[in-house]
Chain A
């Protein structure tokens, strides 16, 4: 993933690797996620939502090599919103999961 001329030389070999990755990841994803019990579906959703904030990496990548102010600003705003998605998502998931208890915790 060299930053120079990223777009221009997208070979078919590269594309086929990307598709391999996509298809295999989808299969494993379906397998793993199907096993999550209903009880944990809300944390699953907020957790996977946080993972979709991975777009942050894309935002950092495109912020490099910008040679216009417009490009810079757009990329920084993207970083800002992606970070909210990531950080907020993981923190809120942790908050929810910390409440799931097996037995009654005498306190409160």
Chain B
């Protein structure tokens, strides 16, 4: 009777923490409550961990606490030190660690069964342990490759090797063969280790051919994988809270992946199986119209006489760390009575919502940031659109040119503004390697140079005027 009561209390504590996770995500729907939501999520996690201790009563507490202490230390230090621009790779690697942990948990359980002579484990055990090892390993190595690419330790361009696809298919079949072997003998350690190796290689091969521009999709997808791996472990150790949390993370990953694919006008299959902007894209687009060059003074004059300005920031802005300078420009404009707003494309960064974080860091108030649907109608009444370090997301051929690889992609209609100022580093093309007609319009002027330098010069020029 008493034991039953204890297990009831433990169950309720888990239910409470699961509810905490739902509340956490619910509060994330508004910037006002989001921080509180995150606290509640962390609290729920703490409660779940303490409850697990109460339930399992591990005898060897020291090594467990040591592992938790060291893990917390690494987690806190890296979370505090990371630059906001490096956020995608940080999340990728944390995510990879989650995947690795799933693999290790499943393996530890297999090892335990190997030494403890329990009667044969069930079919369900075979399937879920197989799933958590396979998905966990893919998540781990895939996230690691994504990390290396985003950190630019590895080239960000898609790496295509002939025959990769056949190897990928072969390895996928091999993982299913492992499942078959495990159904026959669930305690076969060799098969588990083989599966680890195969799935790890598979994770690498799946991410290596994917280019830098498609990273937001990959990160979202890997995020949902780590949720699925946790979910499978939930089945392995029969834990409802693992299943619930895994389902939540899986759902958020799936939603974000779908949104990113829509924002880039690419199907998931395309991202995973076909490299974008690869070599086969012909760069011989033919006659290049000249772009009109503006000096910072020209830009300053145009801006000062405007009454409504829309700023379109792209990743180039973050590359030159010019977010603060951009805000200063906006402040200067506002001081002159100009109405300023920011148009944020969903993929203006290396992960979903990345640009919002970067601008928030530079103290840009979030009520001045608008997403695509909200602001696209506004461009027609804007005097000037300022495009900074963005390219493909303002390429009008996505609307008009059926032969363009960007055709159909939702873009910001910067070309509808009365005048356009483009701050550009060089004469190159965007990630997609596609010509951008916006830059050669008669109403467009291009200020060449590093975004930070150009902004500083423009602000100075405005102050002189």
Instruction: Tell me whether A29 and B101 are in contact in the complex, defined as CB-CB below 8 angstroms, given that A58-B230, A85-B94, A88-B94 are known contacts.
Output: no
Assess whether B252 is in contact with A33, with CB atoms less than 8 Å apart: yes
Q: Total interface residues on B, using CB and 8 Å?
A: 122
Interface of B is mostly: helix
Contacts of A84 in B (CB 8 A): 71-72, 74-75, 78, 94, 97
Assess whether B87 is in contact with A46, with CB atoms less than 8 Å apart: yes
Assess whether B122 is in contact with A90, with CB atoms less than 8 Å apart: no
Q: Complex formed: what's the CA distance from A53 to B251 in Å?
A: 15
Instruction: Tell me whether A10 and B100 are in contact in the complex, defined as CB-CB below 8 angstroms, given that A50-B42, A55-B233, A100-B366 are known contacts.
Output: no
Which residues of chain B in 349-372 are interfacial with respect to chain A, using CB atoms and an 8 Å cutoff? 349, 351-354, 356-357, 360-361, 363, 365-367, 369, 371
Partner of B363, one of A35, A42, A72, A108: A108
- Listed stretches B46-54, B159-167, B436-444; interface member: B46-54
Interchain pairs with CB closer than 8 A, number: 389
Contacts of A25 in B (CB 8 A): 18, 243-244, 247-248
Contacts of A38 in B (CB 8 A): 259, 344, 346, 352-353, 356, 371
Q: Complex formed: what's the CA distance from A94 to B40 in Å?
A: 11
Assess whether B229 is in contact with A56, with CB atoms less than 8 Å apart: no
- Listed stretches B198-206, B218-226, B279-287, B409-417; interface member: B218-226
Assess whether A44 is in contact with B125, with CB atoms less than 8 Å apart: no
Question: B239 to nearest A CB, angstroms?
Answer: 6
Assess whether A101 is in contact with B360, with CB atoms less than 8 Å apart: yes
Instruction: Tell me whether A45 and B352 are in contact in the complex, defined as CB-CB below 8 angstroms, given that A32-B25, A36-B29 are known contacts.
Output: yes
Assess whether A83 is in contact with B247, with CB atoms less than 8 Å apart: no
Contacts of A76 in B (CB 8 A): 63-64, 66-67
- Which of A46, A49, A83 counts the most chain B CB atoms within 10 A? A49
Any A CB within 8 A of the CB of B429: no
Contacts of A74 in B (CB 8 A): 104, 107-108, 111
Assess whether B87 is in contact with A7, with CB atoms less than 8 Å apart: no
Which residue from chain B places its CB closest to the CB of A53 in the assembled complex?
Answer: B98
Q: Complex formed: what's the CA distance from A44 to B75 in Å?
A: 18
Contacts of B34 in A (CB 8 A): 40, 43, 97, 100
Q: Complex formed: what's the CA distance from A64 to B64 in Å?
A: 10
Assess whether A54 is in contact with B245, with CB atoms less than 8 Å apart: yes
Any A CB within 8 A of the CB of B249: yes
Which residues of chain A in 46-86 are interfacial with respect to chain B, using CB atoms and an 8 Å cutoff? 46-68, 70-72, 74-86
Partner of B122, one of A7, A63, A77, A78: A7
Any A CB within 8 A of the CB of B184: no
0/1 string, B355-394, CB within 8 A of A gives 1: 0110011010111010100000000000000000000000
0/1 string, B114-129, CB within 8 A of A gives 1: 1110111110110000
Instruction: Tell me whether A75 and B255 are in contact in the complex, defined as CB-CB below 8 angstroms, given that A7-B122, A21-B244 are known contacts.
Output: no
Contacts of A99 in B (CB 8 A): 357, 360-361, 363
Question: A55 to nearest B CB, angstroms?
Answer: 5
Q: Total interface residues on A, using CB and 8 Å?
A: 91
Any A CB within 8 A of the CB of B276: no
Contacts of B38 in A (CB 8 A): 43, 47, 90, 93-94, 97
Interface of A is mostly: helix
Assess whether A46 is in contact with B91, with CB atoms less than 8 Å apart: yes
Q: Complex formed: what's the CA distance from A45 to B252 in Å?
A: 7
Which residue from chain A places its CB closest to the CB of B42 in the assembled complex?
Answer: A90
Any A CB within 8 A of the CB of B9: no
Q: Complex formed: what's the CA distance from A37 to B244 in Å?
A: 22
Assess whether B78 is in contact with A55, with CB atoms less than 8 Å apart: no
Which residue from chain A places its CB closest to the CB of B354 in the assembled complex?
Answer: A42
Q: Complex formed: what's the CA distance from A70 to B90 in Å?
A: 30
Q: Complex formed: what's the CA distance from A105 to B366 in Å?
A: 12
Which residue from chain A places its CB closest to the CB of B74 in the assembled complex?
Answer: A84
Question: B51 to nearest A CB, angstroms?
Answer: 8
Partner of A71, one of B74, B115, B220, B234: B115
Contacts of B42 in A (CB 8 A): 50, 90, 94
Assess whether A48 is in contact with B253, with CB atoms less than 8 Å apart: yes
Contacts of B255 in A (CB 8 A): 30, 33-34
0/1 string, A2-24, CB within 8 A of B gives 1: 01011110100011011001100
Which residues of chain B in 25-76 are interfacial with respect to chain A, using CB atoms and an 8 Å cutoff? 25-26, 28-32, 34-35, 37-39, 41-42, 45, 48-49, 52-53, 55-60, 63-64, 66-68, 70-72, 74-76
9 contacts between A and B (CB under 8 A): A44-B28, A49-B249, A51-B248, A66-B115, A84-B75, A86-B45, A90-B41, A97-B38, A102-B366
Apart from A79-B71, A84-B94, what 6 extra A-B contacts exist at CB < 8 Å?
A39-B369, A40-B353, A48-B252, A55-B230, A87-B75, A108-B363
B interface residues with partner A (beta carbon < 8 Å): 18, 21-22, 24-26, 28-32, 34-35, 37-39, 41-42, 45, 48-49, 52-53, 55-60, 63-64, 66-68, 70-72, 74-76, 78-80, 82, 84, 87, 90-91, 94-95, 97-98, 100-102, 104-105, 107-109, 111-116, 118-122, 124-125, 219-220, 223, 226-227, 229-231, 233-253, 255-256, 259, 344, 346, 349, 351-354, 356-357, 360-361, 363, 365-367, 369, 371
7 smallest beta-carbon distances between A and B, as pairs: A83-B71, A41-B353, A88-B75, A29-B251, A87-B75, A78-B104, A41-B352
